[in-house]
Each structure stands twice: as structure tokens, then as C-alpha cells.
Amino acid sequence: MNSILLSIILIPVIEIYLFIKIGSQIGAITTILLIFTTAIVGIYYAKYEGLNTLKAGFSQLSKNEAPTYEMMSGAAIAFAALLLIIPGFATDIFGFLLIFPISRKFIFGKFIKKFNHKKEKNNFIDGDFEDIEDDNDKKL
């Protein structure tokens, strides 16, 4: 089964299960207030981290360096803000993990290792070429 389809089905099921379990422990009104609180706090912290990432990106550009980490961080922060807006506890946990710089670096490190390992296997291109000399070629 496609992993995207599976996640579309599985995430709401997990969220509903967590709503029921947590709501039965702390109450319905408290659960709703907790969801709104995590969304509001998360969005403000995402804004703060986004501005810090933007400043770091401009700093990298002023040094004539490519801001690749900052661009990846900006995309991760935007995705984290989306996860925090979606009501639910599991999405909030994953959203907060993406917002905090320490956990974001750890997650990026895992992905970079995974993709660099695949890249190291195929670091050459095999091919043939033939040099054709033409009298009409103009030499500079």
C-alpha cells in the first residue's frame, strides 16, 4: 500500500485515539484548551524560529555562501507550523520536534546520512566519447 495513502488513513486514527484517551483523563474542555494552546504557542515559536532562520540565511548570503541549511530549516519550520495548526497531539509533538533547532539538526543529520550513503555508491558516470576534428572549427 502506498505510504502516503497509509498516512492519510493512519494519522486521523491515531489522533482520534489520543483525543479519546487524553480527554477521558483530563476532561473534554481541558483537552480542547490544550489543543488551542499548543497551536497558538507553536505558531508564535515557529514565527520566532522562522525569523531567526531568515536572519541566518541573509548572513550566509552576505558571506557569499549558499544558505542550504537555512533553506531546509525554513521549509521544515513551515511544515512544523502546518502540523501545529492541525488539531491533534501526535501532529503537535512532531511539529514541536521540527521547530526546535536541536531536534531539527538531529533529524536532518539522519536524512543526510541516508541520502549521502546512497550517493556514495554511484559517484561516477561511465561513458564513451569520440573527438571529431572538423576543419570548420574556429579556434579562439
Which residue from 33, 24, 111, 41 is spatially nearest to 76, judged by alpha carbons?
111
Supply the pTM of this predicted model: 0.73
Q: What does the alpha-carbon distance between residue 133 and residue 48 come to, in Å, rounded to a whole number? A: 61
Check residue 81 and give its pLDDT: 92
Which residue from 98, 109, 91 is spatially nearest to 73, judged by alpha carbons?
98
Task: Please report how the helices 28-62 and 68-85 are oriented relative to each other, as an axis angle in degrees rounded to 10.
Answer: 160
Here the cell at position 91 is: 501532529
Q: What is the pLDDT along the chain (140 residues), one digit of tens a residue?
A: 688 888 888 999 999 999 999 999 999 999 999 999 999 999 999 999 999 999 999 999 999 988 888 999 999 999 999 999 988 999 999 999 999 989 988 988 888 877 776 555 556 677 777 777 766 655 55
